[in-house]
A and B are shown apart, each in its own frame.
Chain A
Amino acid sequence: MSPTANGVALLRAMIRIRRFEERCAELYQEEKIRGFLHLYIGEEAIAVGVMQSLTPEDAIVATYREHGHALARGIDMNRVMAEMYGKATGTSGGRGGSMHLFDAKTRFFGGNAIVGGHLPLAAGLALADRMQGRGVVTACFFGDGAVAEGEFHETLNLAALWQLPVLFCCENNRYAMGTALERAQSETELALKAASYRIPAWPVDGMDVVAVEGAARRATGAIRAGEGPHFIEFRTYRFRAHSMFDPDLYRSKGEVETWRRRDPITLLTDRLRGEGAVDDAALEGIEREVAAEIDAAAAFAESSEWEPVETLARHVTSEAPS
Chain B
Amino acid sequence: MSIVTLAEPRAAAAAPQGIRTTYRDAVREAVRSAMRSDPRVFLMGEDVGKYGGTYAVSRGLLEEFGPERIRDTPLSESAFVGLGIGAALGGLRPIVEIMTVNFSLLALDQIMNTAATLLHMSGGQFNVPLVIRMATGAGRQLAAQHSHSLEGWYAHIPGIRILAPATLEDARGMLPSALADPDPVLIFEHALLYNLEGELDAGAGAVPIDRAAIRREGHDVTLVTYGGTLGITMTAAGQLAEAGVSAEVIDLRVLRPLDTGAILDSVRKTHRAVVIDEGWRSGSLSAEVSARIMEGAFYDLDAPVARVCSAEVPMPYPRHLEQYALPRAEVIVETVQRMVNPHAA
Closest-by-CB residue of B relative to A317 is B183
Q: For residue A211, give the distance in angstroms from its CB to the closest CB of chain B.
A: 29
**B80 and A158: CB pair below 8 A?**
yes
Contacts of B122 in A (CB 8 A): 92, 95-96, 100, 102, 104, 110, 315
B158 sits at the interface (CB 8 A): yes
B 250-269 to A, binary, CB cutoff 8 A, 1 in contact else 0: 00000000000000000000
Contacts of A319 in B (CB 8 A): 124
**B92 and A151: CB pair below 8 A?**
no
Q: A102-B126, A151-B109, A317-B119 are contacts. A132–B79 as well, Cβ < 8 Å?
A: no
Closest-by-CB residue of B relative to A155 is B79
Question: A161 is contacted by which of B42, B74, B84, B120 (Cβ under 8 Å)?
Answer: B74
**A154 and B79: CB pair below 8 A?**
yes
B1 sits at the interface (CB 8 A): yes
**A315 and B119: CB pair below 8 A?**
yes
Question: A90 is contacted by which of B110, B120, B123, B183 (Cβ under 8 Å)?
Answer: B123
Contacts of A114 in B (CB 8 A): 109, 113-114
Q: A102-B125, A316-B159 are contacts. A127–B87 as well, Cβ < 8 Å?
A: yes
**A158 and B42: CB pair below 8 A?**
no
Contacts of B83 in A (CB 8 A): 120-121, 123-124, 127, 155, 158
Q: A117-B110, A158-B80 are contacts. A126–B121 as well, Cβ < 8 Å?
A: no
Contacts of B68 in A (CB 8 A): 131
**A151 and B120: CB pair below 8 A?**
no
A125 sits at the interface (CB 8 A): yes
**A95 and B121: CB pair below 8 A?**
yes
B81 sits at the interface (CB 8 A): yes
Q: How far, in whole Å, are A92 and B126 apart by their CA atoms in the complex?
A: 10
**B124 and A154: CB pair below 8 A?**
no
Contacts of B244 in A (CB 8 A): none
Q: Which of A265-320 contact B (CB under 8 A)?
A: 314-320
Q: How far, in whole Å, are A224 and B162 apart by their CA atoms in the complex?
A: 39
A109 sits at the interface (CB 8 A): yes
> Chain A CB within 10 Å — which of B86, B118, B125 has the most?
B86
**B76 and A125: CB pair below 8 A?**
no
Q: A95-B121, A155-B79 are contacts. A109–B126 as well, Cβ < 8 Å?
A: yes
Q: For residue A96, give the distance in angstroms from its CB to the closest CB of chain B.
A: 5
Question: A121 is contacted by which of B2, B86, B92, B119 (Cβ under 8 Å)?
Answer: B86
Q: For residue B125, give the distance in angstroms from its CB to the closest CB of chain A.
A: 4
Q: Which of A74-127 contact B (CB under 8 A)?
A: 90-96, 100, 102-104, 109-112, 114, 117-127
**A119 and B82: CB pair below 8 A?**
yes
> Chain A CB within 10 Å — which of B119, B121, B158 has the most?
B121
Contacts of B88 in A (CB 8 A): 124, 128
**A158 and B125: CB pair below 8 A?**
no
B203 sits at the interface (CB 8 A): no
Closest-by-CB residue of A relative to B90 is A128
Q: A154-B78, A315-B119, A318-B182 are contacts. A128–B91 as well, Cβ < 8 Å?
A: yes
Q: For residue A179, give the distance in angstroms from its CB to the closest CB of chain B.
A: 20
A254 sits at the interface (CB 8 A): no
Question: B42 is contacted by which of A96, A123, A131, A151 (Cβ under 8 Å)?
Answer: A131
A157 sits at the interface (CB 8 A): yes
B335 sits at the interface (CB 8 A): no
Q: How far, in whole Å, are A90 and B123 apart by their CA atoms in the complex?
A: 9
Contacts of A94 in B (CB 8 A): 123
B127 sits at the interface (CB 8 A): yes
A205 sits at the interface (CB 8 A): no
Q: Which of B1-20 contact A (CB under 8 A)?
A: 1-2
Closest-by-CB residue of A relative to B182 is A318
Q: How far, in whole Å, are A104 and B119 apart by their CA atoms in the complex?
A: 12
B337 sits at the interface (CB 8 A): no
A129 sits at the interface (CB 8 A): yes
B73 sits at the interface (CB 8 A): yes
A3 sits at the interface (CB 8 A): no
**B73 and A96: CB pair below 8 A?**
no
**A92 and B123: CB pair below 8 A?**
yes
**A158 and B183: CB pair below 8 A?**
no
**B109 and A117: CB pair below 8 A?**
yes
Q: Which of A127-147 contact B (CB under 8 A)?
A: 127-129, 131-132
Contacts of B113 in A (CB 8 A): 114, 117
Q: How far, in whole Å, are A185 and B192 apart by their CA atoms in the complex?
A: 44
> Chain A CB within 10 Å — which of B82, B85, B91 has the most?
B82
Q: For residue A210, give the distance in angstroms from its CB to the closest CB of chain B.
A: 31
Q: How far, in whole Å, are A169 and B6 apart by their CA atoms in the complex?
A: 47
Q: How far, in whole Å, are A117 and B110 apart by their CA atoms in the complex?
A: 7
B291 sits at the interface (CB 8 A): no
Q: For residue A35, give the distance in angstroms from its CB to the closest CB of chain B.
A: 13
Q: For residue B210, give the distance in angstroms from its CB to the closest CB of chain A.
A: 11
Instruction: In the A-B complex, list the 3 residue pairs whose CB atoms are closest, starting with the nearest.
Output: A124-B86, A120-B82, A128-B90
Ordered by A's residue number, 8 sampled pairs between the chains whose C-beta atoms are within 8 Å are A110-B118, A110-B122, A112-B114, A117-B82, A117-B114, A150-B76, A154-B76, A318-B1
Q: Apart from A110-B122, A120-B86, A121-B89, list 17 A-B contacts with CB within 8 A.
A: A91-B123, A92-B122, A92-B125, A94-B123, A95-B122, A95-B123, A103-B125, A112-B114, A114-B113, A120-B78, A124-B84, A124-B90, A125-B89, A127-B86, A129-B90, A317-B183, A318-B183
